[in-house]
């Protein structure tokens, strides 16, 4: 059977989706403060049968490159950056099927209000909410939140494990399915005997009390994650229902997918139930030559300091200080996103030149693909078949132009090949993405098991 | 000059606005999960020339009455309670002038993300955002947020002082007015020299870094507060631009208003610049007799356990355990909301019977006013003249019915008397409520002074 290619759009709530491109005459991202801009974008994505939109989010300024936030501020790289959670209600109001992945941090937020906010959003979108679970990786964010420096990655993920355990209990173990009565004759809105305090006492978080929101369509929102480092992959293998990847090559993508699926199986999960969305930045033209001309046009607007600002934040390396030639020696030791590891381990016999690796670092992190509809569709099909991925996280060079061209030219081609849905499936975001089920977290997911243990503990205590 | 009466609607994001009334056939609050319900409500309020809508919010279940959350759950009293912040974007999209007061807690949130969220909302509503600053007063919330018990009121307000100081710096001292360049020729989106890290190191909060959002129309959102206890009044006198009151009588209202204005003056503020919105629950009929009949109809649906659940949470007193006759002796000592104090001090010679005081506790906390348009308009005008208040915080018995009747019958009467605006004023929420100005916090407000001190400190450090 031909595997369906799922489509997710990735963006940020700021003026610059691609370094330097805010200057491009067709770029409309500067309208990011305007609700009508986001409503129009949501309608476009639903017309193009995208499954979801994902707002990446950062909690501090990018300040690694040149040791300062000045390049980020001057080039508008992820700053200004408005809180993306507020776009969702307005976008949900003008769509019926489009899903929304919300980034919330397990390092800088708390389980009780995060669970409440996501339940609220899942109710008001009728089950279209995903949570992009992040542990956050900027020193600037740590300082903005009152810490001297960030926790190391292992502690961040340990906190993340504890955080999600508390939210699973709130979502899955506080309200019984039939707790709401709405019994006017008996004057009973709900049955208190079927609504329970949860008691979470983990190494980092304590939560005692009832979830403030009755069960939403999905209870636990669909769970996205994007970690590629070793502890990140372990976390994804345990908790993620879908993983966003920003891997440099097809081989590296395959390596990460195989690795996480193997780890998921070791946790007792069906490895096929974890979906993967590698990043794709399509430069689309009517013909291949047209696309190439568009690419050259974009390159004229591209900002090199802007790219180094992004890469600095992603890798922790200051490209200005070390110089590109020295970069890789340092990168070996400081490869927090697993970029080099995945590249080397995916193809251990290949000898990479410093230049090639620098290219991978600078441009390969975004899967730039240039061509007419056939070439891009071919590339996507081959990539899916080779890597085992389930769809793409489609990024823009200009917004909404990049996605609009993709929807106009490539989506019909993929639909003709039976790869992209012509109509949406039924049900919640989880049901649409997973192709069925009862809409709840799978029984082999730790969220269900943690909730079950909480319920058993409660029954023992009350027995 | 006839003083304008400002109108604010108060509600919660849950199924029950008034205890027991969820059973009333006209009650539509059960549609609280539905965006279209809130969009329609926003349109109604704007048609009725309301200045703003205020979502009260609680961060835990009410569990004082009978020592358990069971009565609250059974009667649906403030639980389920969805997060209200997500209603605003959808309601803003269908209105042009209506303001939104968002409740965010200085005890359970952090300054950096609260400042960012409010700036985001102020941008996307084009300057229509107020912040209802709360310190939160439920033990159940403390436990849900990982504390053993809540901080005492003095510590809560001390934390609140420190919290708002950090947000003032982020809003007022991080981005210079002309920091955004959008200079395509020079490839400069912003001027880093005009964007500054703030450095806040207070007794409770540390924030180092740049505000992630460029200046919104109001910079600092319009500041609401609702404390009536002694430390609450002191906090309001220092920080509030408008105060919500839930005082039992006109005399008690006047006492609180005079007290806070006197304290504001001692802080160097213009006392007239602090606005007051006492609560008003209007039961409106075409005639007085019609209104009285409506009231009797509502009483049939009212839930006494529900009222005791609310009052238990507001006062910290379990009406079941102590009995109504013993209540007042205990209330003397545990009057956290200043209800009895304001009552006694406003009219020191009057002797209140226990029965009278119990009535004040049970019903007087909501300024129930019953009548046809003339009687209610008369009452409102007299109340404003006597107390020095600036408007009302209009509460519903049923939603949107109570407000719809008020808009249909009372607002035209008040407009004919020159009391309620026929058209909205120009500008931001602050400009509309204050009747002009440049839209910024006043120079005599501590937010401006704290920001100025931060800027001076920065200039000394860099000199």
pLDDT digits (tens, 9 = 90+) for B57-92: 999 999 988 899 999 999 999 999 999 999 999 999
In this predicted model, which residue has the larger pLDDT, A85 or A333? A85
Query: In chain B, which residue's Cα lies nearest the Cα of A167?
Result: B144
Q: Which two tokens mark A224?
A: 């996205």
Please report the pLDDT score of residue A361 as a whole number: 53
Residues of B in contact with A190 (CB under 8 A): 73-74, 76
Nearest Cβ partner for A303 among B85, B187, B212: B187
Identify all chain B residues contacting A184, using CB atoms and an 8 Å cutoff: 23
For B:229-258, CB contacts with A below 8 A are none
CB–CB contact B189 A116 (8 Å): no
A-chain residue closest to B191, CA distance: A74
**Omega prior to B80 cis, within 30 of 0:** yes
Predicted local confidence at residue B200, as pLDDT: 97
Calculate the average pLDDT of chain A.
90
Count of residues in chain A? 463
Rounded Cα gap, residues A450 and A456, in angstroms: 10
Q: Over 60: is that where the pLDDT of B365 sits?
A: no
Structural domain spans, chain A: 6-301+365-462
Q: Does A273 contact chain B (CB < 8 Å)?
A: no
Q: Which of A118-122, A338-342, B422-426 has the lowest mean pLDDT?
A: A338-342
Task: Tell if the CB–CB gap between A33 and B113 is shorter than 8 Å.
Answer: no
Banded pLDDT at B368 (limits 50, 70, 90): confident
CA–CA distance, B60 with B79 (Å, rounded to integer): 9
Predicted confidence (pLDDT) per residue in A88-140, tens digit: 999 999 999 999 999 999 999 999 999 999 999 999 999 999 999 999 878 89
Strands (E), A137-217: 180-183, 188-190, 198-201, 206-209
Q: How far is B116 from chain A (nearest CA, A)?
A: 7
Q: Residue B328 and residue B326: Cα distance in Å, rounded?
A: 6
The span from the CA of B149 to the CA of B137, in Å, is: 10
What mean pLDDT is predicted for residues B408-434?
97
Q: CA of B118: which chain A residue's CA is closest?
A: A83
Instruction: Return the residue in A83, A115, A198 with the most chain B beta carbons within 10 A, the one to mutate for interface testing.
Output: A83
**Domain A6-301+365-462 is of which CATH architecture?**
Alpha-Beta Barrel (3.20)
Q: Which two tokens stand for residue B402?
A: 């109570």
Of A39, A69, A86, the CB nearest to B121: A86
Question: Are the Cβ atoms of B124 and A82 closer than 8 angstroms?
Answer: yes
Q: To the nearest whole percent, how much of chain A has pLDDT over 90?
A: 72
What is the pLDDT averaged over residues A359-372?
A: 64
Interface test with B, best of A18, A120, A188 (most B CBs within 10 A): A120
Residue-level pLDDT at A364: 45
> Mean pLDDT throughout A349-374?
66
Average pLDDT over residues A203-226: 97
- Partners of B145 on chain A (C-beta within 8 Å) are 110, 112-113, 207
Task: Report which of A457, A258, A249, A222 is spatially closest to residue A352, judged by C-alpha positions.
Answer: A249
Annotate A75-99 with b (16+ C-beta within 10 A) or e (fewer): bbbbbbbbbbbbbbbbbbbbbebbb
* Cα B222 from Cα B211, distance rounded (Å): 18
Mapped onto helix, strand or coil, the DSSP state of residue B305 is helix
Helix (H, G, I), strand (E, B) or coil at A294: helix
CA distance A5 to chain B (A): 31
The b-or-e profile of B350-376 (16+ CB within 10 A means b, else e) is eeeeeeebbebbbebbbbbbbbbbebb
Give the separation between CA A240 and CA A133, rounded to whole angstroms.
Answer: 8
**Which segments of B402-447 are extended strands (E)?**
none
- Which helix (H) or strand (E) segment holds residue B102: the answer is strand B99-105
Residue contact A120–B90, C-beta within 8 A? no
Q: Does residue A299 belong to the interface with chain B, where contact is any CB pair within 8 Å? A: no
- pLDDT exceeds 80 at position B315: no
| pLDDT of B117 | 98
Contact B15 A73 (CB under 8 A): no
CB–CB of A208 and B144 under 8 A? Answer: yes
Residues 127 through 186 of chain A touching chain B, CB cutoff 8 Å: 140, 143-146, 182, 184
The residues, ordered by sequence, that sit 6+ positions from A333 with a Cβ below 8 Å of its Cβ are: none
Residue A272 CA to residue A384 CA, distance in Å, equals: 14
- More confident position, A308 or A400: A400
The answer, for A80 touching chain B at a CB cutoff of 8 Å, is yes
**Hey, is the C-beta of A54 within 8 angstroms of any chain B C-beta?**
no
Q: Give me the mean pLDDT over the A404-409 stretch.
A: 98
- Cβ contact B229:B153 at 8 Å: yes
Q: Which of A293, A280, A273, A277 is nearest to A364 (CA)?
A: A280
Residues of chain A with Cβ-Cβ distance to B214 below 8 Å are 80
Distance CA(B150)–CA(B167), nearest Å, equals: 23
Question: What pLDDT, on the 0 to 100 scale, is given for residue B268?
Answer: 97
Residue B336 has pLDDT above 60, yes or no: no
Distance separating alpha carbons of residues A235 and B362, to the nearest angstrom: 52
């Amino acid at each position: 059977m031909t595997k369906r290619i799922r489509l997710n759009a990735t963006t940020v709530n700021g003026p610059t989706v691609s370094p330097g491109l805010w200057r491009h005459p067709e770029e409309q991202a500067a309208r990011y403060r305007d609700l009508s801009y986001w409503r129009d974008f949501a309608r476009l994505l639903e017309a193009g049968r995208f499954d979801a939109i994902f707002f990446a989010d950062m909690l501090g300024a990018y300040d690694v490159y040149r040791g300062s936030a000045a390049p980020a501020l001057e080039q508008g790289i992820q700053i200004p950056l408005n809180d993306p959670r507020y776009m969702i209600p307005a976008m949900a109001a003008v769509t019926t099927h489009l899903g929304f992945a919300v980034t919330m941090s397990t390092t800088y937020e708390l389980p009780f209000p995060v669970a409440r906010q996501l339940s609220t959003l899942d109710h008001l979108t009728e089950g279209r909410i995903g949570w992009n679970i992040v542990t956050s990786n900027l020193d600037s964010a740590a300082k903005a939140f009152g810490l001297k420096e960030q926790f190391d990655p292992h502690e961040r993920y340990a906190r993340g494990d504890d955080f999600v355990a508390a939210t699973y209990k709130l979502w899955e173990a506080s309200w019984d399915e039939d707790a709401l009565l709405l019994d006017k004759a008996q004057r009973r809105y709900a049955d208190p005997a079927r609504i329970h305090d949860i008691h979470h006492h983990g190494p980092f978080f304590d939560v005692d009390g009832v979830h403030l929101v009755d069960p939403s369509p999905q209870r636990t929102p669909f769970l996205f994650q994007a970690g590629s480092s070793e502890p990140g992959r372990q976390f994804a293998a345990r908790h993620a229902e879908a993983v966003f990847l920003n891997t440099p090559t097809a081989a590296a993508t395959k390596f990460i997918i195989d690795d996480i699926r193997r780890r998921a199986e070791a946790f007792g999960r069906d490895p096929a139930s974890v979906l993967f969305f590698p990043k794709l930045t399509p430069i689309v033209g009517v013909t291949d030559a047209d696309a190439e001309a568009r690419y050259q046009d974009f390159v004229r607007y591209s900002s090199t300091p802007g790219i180094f600002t992004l890469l600095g934040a992603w890798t922790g390396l200051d490209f200005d200080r070390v110089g590109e030639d020295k970069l890789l020696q340092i990168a070996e030791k400081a490869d927090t996103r697993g970029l080099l590891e995945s590249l080397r381990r995916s193809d251990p016999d290949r000898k990479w030149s410093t230049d090639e690796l620098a290219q991978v670092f600078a441009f390969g992190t975004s899967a730039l693909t240039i061509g007419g509809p056939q070439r891009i569709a071919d590339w996507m099909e081959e990539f899916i078949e080779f890597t085992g991925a389930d769809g793409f996280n489609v990024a823009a060079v200009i917004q909404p132009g990049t996605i609009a061209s993709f929807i106009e030219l490539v989506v019909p081609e993929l639909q003709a090949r039976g790869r992209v849905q012509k109509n949406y499936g039924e049900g919640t975001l989880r049901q649409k993405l997973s192709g069925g089920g009862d809409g709840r977290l799978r029984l082999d997911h730790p969220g269900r098991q943690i909730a079950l243990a909480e319920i058993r503990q409660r029954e023992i205590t009350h027995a």
